[in-house]
Amino acid sequence: MPWRTALKVALAAGEALTKALTKAVREEIKQTQQAAARHAASTGQSASETKENANANAKLGISLEESLQILNVKPPLNREDVEKHYEHLFAINDKAKGGTFYLQSKVFRAKERIDEELARLEQKSEAAKKEETSKNE
């Protein structure tokens, strides 16, 4: 009998924990989607561009806005400025110079996210140029 009661309590606790975790994950997804929608509204992006941004944010674990703040660059993005700011911040946050691995990794992830955005913009620009040349021919 005591085992049955203990088993029921354990199952009830597991069920409650599962429900709480599921709710937390759903809330996080909802907040991420709302943040992406706010960003799209402020930048005038289309739904597909917003989805691409959300996917890149999820894949790399950092948003474009946060990346821009970390590297202290402003849109429109310039690859040289990004590289210059990255090199400086990465060097001064070196552990040998009194920096921390955490800050260095944040700087690295920020550059990685901005590089992803630059690649996406270049790809979009090339596609537009190809479409324009095909229309002119």
The pTM score is 0.65
Residue 110 burial by Cβ neighbours in a 10 Å radius (0-12, 13-18, 19+): buried
Contacts of 99 (CB under 8 A, 6+ apart): 92, 93
Number of DSSP helices (H) and strands (E) in the chain, helices first: 5, 0
User: Are the beta carbons of 56 and 116 closer than 8 angstroms?
Assistant: yes
Mean per-residue pLDDT for 105-114? Answer: 94
pLDDT band of 58, cuts 50, 70, 90: confident
Q: C-alpha angle with apex 132: 126 to 48, nearest 5 degrees?
A: 55
